[in-house]
Every structure is written in structure tokens, then in C-alpha cells.
Structure 1
Amino acid sequence: MNRLGTVIGFTFKNKVRTKSFVITTLLLALLITIGIHLPFIIQMFVGDDEGGDNRIGIAANGQTEIAQQIEDYVSALPGNEIQFADLEGGDAAALNKQAKDQDLKGYLTIAPSEGAAFPAVEYVSENGSVPADVQAVLQPALESAKTRFITEGALSDEQIRQLTTPVQLSTVSYDQLAGTGEQNADGPEGDKFNPMNFITVYVLMTLFFFSAMLTGNMIASEVTSEKSSRVMEILITSVSPLTQMFGKVIGVFLVGLLQIGVFGLTIAINLMLPYNREVLAGFDLDFSQMPFDVLAYGLVFYVLGYFLYALLYAAVGSIVSRTEDLGQAVTPLTMLSLAAFYIGIFSLNNTDSLLMKISSFVPFTSPTTMIARIGLGEIAFWEIAVSLALLLASIFFFGWLSAKIYRTGVLMYGKRPSMKELRKAMKAYKI
């Protein structure tokens, strides 16, 4: 056990002190910082092309009642930031001048239209388009004003509000409708699709993919470089091959956690800056709704999935004698991790598909697909338990197999051995 701790400590310190690790970590932290600040940097250089913040004008052209109804509807909306300015005169040049002088985002023109039940409404702006946020507010306001105009007071304000409120389409399964299905802990609405769930699932899946790729290749290259430089022959006399393998896997895992911690701290510091906090507030994220159950399950699958791939990378690295051949040797593992990531990431909107259900029980893909099903879909507890059991069984099996391959492969030089040669060599060792 003491030797295992020594190998873990040596691997961790050796990797952390290398120039490649320091430069890569600092470079990625810098890129993350630039990415977070990019919207602010662009705004500093190009300014706000749409201008006028959230102020738009209205040229009523005699339709003052409709203009007032639009203003009243928008001002009553919760969280509304749009303000209106009255524009005088029907001449286009005069209206354009007023809009530019007042630095407006744009303006509405309301004018009678022959043969139409409702006056024609047009939005005028610098680039001839309606911003998405303005469109989302003005559209229901115009619908409400049109209803009032056509009904001419025949409907009450409450009836008009109900007419202009979009219908919400909810979903329910056959079993839930019949009362035989399991209900979410969040209630019948199944508040599983809130933004925090999606963000948590996406981050965990991406984290697993990059960890499996980067740290796995780091482990394989470490073993191969020691073997190619004949250092392995010296190490093998003082530390057993199994201690070396598990020590390297755990040591590199700690290196990966350190790197993740640095990136997480970088993101947190940058998001806490005043101007970035305003941008973050615009996404309306409520961190009190953090799905801790999804986070806990996700971390369990992340750690177990990491060790499954890491042990296989160590085994593959032990049978390669030259670092030039390592890329080709680890290609199958790279393809497996890519498949796990892409199956999960492209099925986030359909987590109950047959592909997701099958892949959530396959140990090589379950670390990503099971996270997606837990966070964004409906899943029974027995499915989670079976998937964890299969993943643990796979870790023990491939750990045993990797240990035999590692113990045999570290002292086999020359061309990469075939499976037949490996089987012959492994028969000579008992683990």
C-alpha cells in the first residue's frame, strides 16, 4: 500500500511539474477567459448597432387608441424593459430624424389600410429587422389590440387576455394517464427539463469525454515512454507492475481533477465580474434549482467510467514499444469514447429512445447516456442499479484483464504483439 501511494505521488508530481501540463492548463484557462469575455469585448469595439437600448417609438398617425393599448399591454408585462416614445408627423424623413435624434432602437408606424379590418402596422429600424426580444413582446401586444379593435368593447379585458394567451401543450405518458406509471419527484409536470438539468447533464457528459480522451492518452503515453526508454526495466525491480498500473491510473486521475478545478475556478471568477453577472442574469438561471441528485449520480458514473477507460488505456500503452505507434493502438478506445459522447449528446431531446435505453446498459456508453436519462428523461431506480452493477463488473473484469496484459506487455519489446502471443505470455503469470 505504501508503494502504491509512492507511485501515485510520483506520477502526480511528475505530471504537474512538466512544462506541457503547465502551458496547456494556462493556455486553456486563457481561452476560457477570452471566450467568457468575448461578447463584452465585441460590444466595446463595435458598440450597440441597434442603439437606443430598449426604447422604441410609435407614430400613431391618428390611431392613438391603438397605440395606447399597445403601450399599456407591454408596460403590464412582468419584467418588461421596453419603453415607448411618441413620434409626431407622418413624413418618413421626419420620423427617421426623430428616431435617430432620440437614439431609438426603431419605431412602429400605425396607419389605416383600405379593405382591412385592422390598421397596417410596420416596424422601422436601422437595419430593417425586428430584434427577437422586441418581436416576442410586440406580437402579443398587437394581437390584443387587434382583438379589442374588432370586438369594439364586446369582450372584457379578462376575456381578451385569455384569447391572446398562447395555449400550453403539456405531455403525459400512457401509464401516467391511466394512473399506473411512476411519478417524478418534481410532480406530474415533471420539471425535468429546466435549464439547470440540461446544463448539468451537458457539463458532465463533456467532462467525461475530455477526461477519457486526455487523461487516457496521458496514461498510455506515460507507460509507452517509460517502456521505450527502458526505464521500465529499472522500475519493475522495485515496484510490481500492478502497483505501477493502478498508481499511474489514480495519479493521472488526480492530475485531471486538479486541471478541472483550475478551469472551474477560472470560470467562476470571470462570471463573478460585474458586467458578466449582468449577462448571466439575462439567461434567467436559478442555481437554487441545481439538481443535486443528477449531479451525484453523474459524478458516480463519471468516476467509474473514467477508471474503466483508464485501465484499458494503461493496458494498450503497455503493449506498444514506440510512442510513434501509440496513436494507432489507442484508436479503438478513442472510437468507443467518441461513440459514448455522440450517442448521448445527439439524443438529449429524445432520452427515452431505444438506442439510449440499450446504450445505458453498455458499460462503455453508460457513463454518458445514463446521465442524460437520469437528468432529462424518465427512468426507474432498478435501471440505474443494473447499469451501475454492469459498470462495476466491467471495471473488475477489464481491470483483471488489463493487469495481466500490463504485467506481460511491459517487458515485451519489438513489434506490437498479437492477441495469440499475448495469450501465450499471460499463461505464464498468475494474478
Structure 2
Amino acid sequence: MSSVVGAVIAREYLQRVRTRTFLVGTIGLPLLMLALFVVSALMAGSGGSAERSLALVDRTGVLESGVAARLAAAGFEVESVEPGSVAEEELESRLLDGSLGGALFLESGTLEVGSARLRGVSVPSLLRRIGIQQAVSQTALEVRLVASEEGPALAALLSGGELHLETVGAGREDTADEDGTTAMVAGFAGAFLLYVVLLVYGTMVLRAVLEEKTGRIAEIILSSMRPGQLMLGKIVGVGAVGLTQLAAWILFGAILLGTGIPAMLPFFPEGGLGFDLRAHLPGAGVFAFFGLCFLVGYFLYASLFAAVGAMCSTEEEAQQLQFPVVMLVVVPIVFLAPVLDNPTTSWAMGLSLFPFFSPILMFARVAAGAAPVWEAALSVVLMLATLMGTAWVAGRIYRTGILMQGKRPTLPELWRWVRYG
């Protein structure tokens, strides 16, 4: 790579990473998301101590231990009160002075139909009501089943049973994620992230080209280098900005998973996080394929956006002409949910092998464990071949269009640029 291209790359890179917008997006956005996660989790799972305190009065004599255990697991502070005792008579005053969040009464109807009576000054939240209702009904059902001869068998049936999935074939291995939910979520999240970064940094290349063209800066720069070198420098420079931001986000996520979440666990109520997120992360191969899809997809789309920028003379023209390129990024997002729902169908394979859709759809299928190795390899080969052709065409258009001013070119003129440029 020549020194002039390196100078363009350094200029494009440093010009963007030193801006306040880049710093806010790279550092401020992850911190904001972390703060929202912590605040929402604490608000949903903790609340005030008095609000979570619950007096339990069991008049059935058989439900207290089971209900108390389930309520404690749901984050409540349970206080068992003997029926007819002085403590029961004091419940009303404790509710009124706010030292007690609620009083749950288990009566004869609880064992029969799972009903219970909850007294409190205010109506608890929907999630708390659901937690209390489930604790009561599940315990009542459990006690009734234990008293039945076929209790254990009926309990297994009523719980819904389990569906154990086994995958066979080359390149497939059983994992702890038996239902594939985690893999599908990873595929959807990663594909959507690719959509965002491809669109954001692709349009950033377009804006950079358009600014230099409309400001007549390109005419000065091209006196010391070829148009192809300028285009390559811009694409690589902006791409390096994108890689820097992604690397910062990944590093932040790794630090959070490695030290942040374990350090925060003591501050959450029991079961507040629900599961160990680190145990559900995709493998290193999925992360590597994500990086490959970003690199190839970025250069593929950035060359198209650079060509569009070279064809335009105004911001209004750029907004109109970039629409077909933007749609190439939007269409795979439209098909993302159907593809993840039916990832092994022939049409899903065909869509994910289309080079302009591959960065998003093929990654989603790979993350979901639905694409064999040969399909992923074929998609990369097709993307690279398309990239070579797209870069050649975009370079021809860029070479002529970057110095053109006035009306935007017609299709016959674009054909002449590509043919003779």
C-alpha cells in the first residue's frame, strides 16, 4: 500500500475517532446500556424492603412450607404467622403503617381450587401478583398430587414434560442449548448488529465522498494521487473506524461478562438474572464468522456507497440515489425472521447465498447452527467474487464521477463511465 493511500486512511480515521460523536457512541452508549440494565433489573427485582415483605397465614396446615419457599425464590421476604395468634391481629395495623407489604391468607378454598386472599394497602404490580398466584397454585397442586396414588406421574405430565433434541450430520454437535433458543437469539442479534454497522458506515463513506466532491477538495487531492487510491483510502479509513468501535464494544462486553456481572450478582435478589449469560454465549467460530461477514460485507457495500457519492452533486441527489443500495441492506432484515424460523429450507439457503444478503442472513443461519460448513464457505467465496466485481465497477464510476459537477448522470452515461472509465 502506497504512502498516499496510507495518508488518506490516517486522515479519514483520525478525523472521525477524535470527534465527540464517536467517543459518545463508543464509550457512552455501552455505559448507558449498562446503566439501564442495572437500574431496570434492580427496579424489577428489588423494590423497597417493606414492599417485598409478605405475611403468610396458612389455615390449611399443609401449604405453608411450599408456598413460603416459592415466594422466597421469587424475591419476597416471607414471615409466617400462626392463625388466630396475636401477630395475626396486628397485621392490619402493620399494613396501614407501611411496615408490611401484604398479608396472604391460605384457606380451605386454596387446596380445592388454588384460590387465596391477599390483603394490602395498595394493589401490587402485575409481576408480583403473578408470582404470588403461581406460588400458591403450584404448591396446592403439588400437595394434592402427593396425596394421589398417581401423583408423581400426573405431576410430570402437568409440568409439560421435556423435548430433548438430537442433531445428526456432519459438523453438528450437541450443545447445552438443546432447544436452540440461545443460538437463534444470537443469530438475530448479530444479524441486526451487522445491519446497523453496514448501513451506518456505508453511508459514512458516501458522505465523505460527497463532502470532498462538493467542496472541490477532491480536485486538489487528485493532483497527487489516482482516484482509485483516494477511494480505497476512504473505504479503509472509515472501515477502521467501524472496527475500532466494534472492538471497543466487544472488549466492554467481555469485561462486563468476566467481572461486571459476577460482581453485581450479590446485589440482585435470588434468581434476579434468571440464568448465567456467559454459559449461553456462542462459540469462537461464530464470533470469527461475524468478523468475516463484517469485513467482506462492509467493503462490498462501501464500494457501492462510494460510487453513489461520486455520482451526486447535492445531498438531495445522494438521498435519492442511495435508496437501491440501502434496500440491499434492508431486504435481508425483512427476511431475517422467516429465515431463522425455517433455516434449513432451500429458499433460506438460496437467500443466504445471495452475495448482498449473505453478510446478514448467512451469519444468522451459522449462529443458529443451521448452515453446514460448506454453505458458509461458499457464501464467503461468492461474496469475495462479488466484491471484486463491485469494486471494479465502483472504481470506474468513482474515477469519472468524482470530478463531474452539475446534473447527475443517466444510465447510458453510467454505462459509458464503466466501459471506458
2:64 pairs, out of 52, 62, 67, with 67
2:254 matches 1:260? no
Native 8 Å contact 1:233 1:411 kept in 2: yes
Return 313-322 or 379-388, whichever deviates more. Answer: 379-388
Give me the whole-angstrom Cα distance separating, in 2, the residues matched to 1:124 and 1:350.
49
Measure, in 2, the Cα distance between the counterparts of 1:182 and 1:43: 41
Q: Is the 8 Å Cα contact of residues 26 and 248 (structure 2) preserved in structure 1?
A: no
Q: Deviations over 1:81-111 (max 9, x none)?
A: 6553223457998544455668555443222
The 2-side partners of 1:270 and 1:100 are apart by 42
Letter matched to residue 285 of structure 1: D
Higher mean alpha-carbon deviation, 104-113 vs 293-302, is at 104-113
The structure 1 residue matched to 2:303, chosen from 305, 308, 311, is 311
Q: Which amino acid aligns with 2:187?
A: V
Deviation at 1:226, TM superposition (A): 1.2
Cα distance in structure 2, aligned partners of 1:281 and 1:42: 11
Q: Please tell me whether residue 287 in structure 1 is matched to residue 278 in structure 2.
A: yes
- The 1:24/1:144 distance shift into structure 2, 3 A limit, reads same
1:302 to 281, 294, 300: 294
- Tell me the equivalent position of 2:108: 112
Which letter maps to 1:368?
A: I
- 2-side partners of 1:339 and 1:422: how far apart? 25
Asked if residue 415 in structure 1 is aligned to residue 416 in structure 2, the reply is no
Identity among equivalent positions (%) equals 23
Tell me how far 1:409 sits from its aligned partner. Answer: 1.3
Over 3 Å counting, the alpha-carbon distance change for 1:135 and 1:337 in structure 2 is farther
CA pair 133-376 structure 1, distance change in 2 beyond 3 A? farther
Q: Is the 8 A contact 1:33 1:270 kept in 2?
A: no
The aligned amino acid for 1:209 is Y
Whole-angstrom distance in 1 between the partners of 2:98 and 2:81: 10
- Larger mean Cα displacement after TM superposition, 203-212 or 237-246: 203-212
Q: Secondary structure at the match of 1:127?
A: coil
SS of the residue corresponding to residue 219 of structure 1 reads helix
Q: Which residue of 1 aligns with 2:174?
A: 186
Query: What residue identity is the alignment partner of 1:22?
Result: R
Q: Report if the CA contact (8 A) 2:188-2:336 is conserved.
A: no
Contact 1:57 1:99 in 2 (8 A): no
Q: SS in structure 2 opposite 1:56?
A: strand
Q: Which residue number in structure 1 is paired with residue 312 of structure 2?
A: 320
Match of 2:198 in 1: 212
Partner of 1:426: 418
1:332 correspondence with 2:333: no
- Cα deviation for residue 369 of structure 1 reads 1.1
Are 2:290 and 2:363, in contact at CA under 8 Å, matched by a contact in 1?
Answer: yes
2:394 alignment counterpart: 402
Report SS of the residue matched to 2:56. strand
Q: Report the AA paired with residue 67 of structure 1.
A: E
CA positional deviation for 1:208: 1.6
What is residue 121 of structure 1 aligned with on the other side? Answer: 116
Counterpart of 2:63, as a letter, is I
Question: 1:404: Cα distance to partner?
Answer: 1.1
Letter in 2 for 1:385: A
Letter of the 2:107 counterpart: A
Once residues 48 and 236 of structure 1 are traced to their aligned partners in structure 2, the CA distance between those partners, rounded to angstroms, is 62
Aligned match of 1:147 in 145, 148, 169? 145
Unaligned runs of 5+ in 1: none
How many residues are treated as equivalent by the alignment?
409
TM-score, reference length from structure 1: 0.79
Distance in 2, Cα, partners of 1:423 & 1:215? 27
- Residues 1:234 and 2:220 are matched in the alignment: yes
Question: Any residues of structure 2 matched to 1:355-370 within 5 Å, and which?
Answer: 355-370=347-362
In the alignment, the residues of structure 2 paired with residue 394 and residue 43 of structure 1 have an alpha-carbon distance, to the nearest angstrom, of 45
CA contact (8 A) 2:114 2:137 kept: no
* Alpha-carbon distance in structure 2 between the residues aligned to 1:312 and 1:413: 19
Distance in 2 (alpha carbons) for counterparts of 1:105 and 1:87: 14
- Residue 58 of structure 1 corresponds to 56
Instruction: Measure how far apart 1:417 and its partner are.
Output: 0.3
Unaligned stretches of 5+ residues in structure 2: none
Q: 1:273-292, CA deviations, whole angstroms, 9 ceiling, x for partnerless residues?
A: 85588569714234255321
Name the counterpart of 1:25: 23
Q: Distance in 1 between matches of 2:48 and 2:250?
A: 34
Cα offset for 1:66?
A: 3.0
Amino acid at match of 1:145: V
- Please state how far the C-alpha of 1:361 moved relative to its aligned partner: 0.9
The worse-fitting range, judged by mean Cα deviation, of 276-285 and 302-311 is: 276-285
Deviations 1:6-27 (A, max 9, x none): 221222123334xxx3235326
Deviates most, 420-429 or 32-41: 32-41
CA distance in 2: counterparts of 1:412 and 1:123, whole angstroms: 77
What residue in structure 1 maps to residue 11 of structure 2?
A: 10
User: Are 1:374 and 2:366 an aligned pair?
Assistant: yes
Give the structure-2-normalised TM-score. 0.81
Q: Distance in 2 between matches of 1:358 and 1:301?
A: 17
Question: What do you get for the CA RMSD once the two structures are aligned?
Answer: 3.8
Shift in alpha-carbon separation, 1:199–1:242, aligned structure 2, 3 A: same
| Secondary structure of the corresponding residue to residue 416 of structure 1 | coil
Q: Tell me, what secondary structure is at the counterpart of 1:86?
A: strand
Counterpart CA distance in 2 for 1:27 and 1:266 is 13
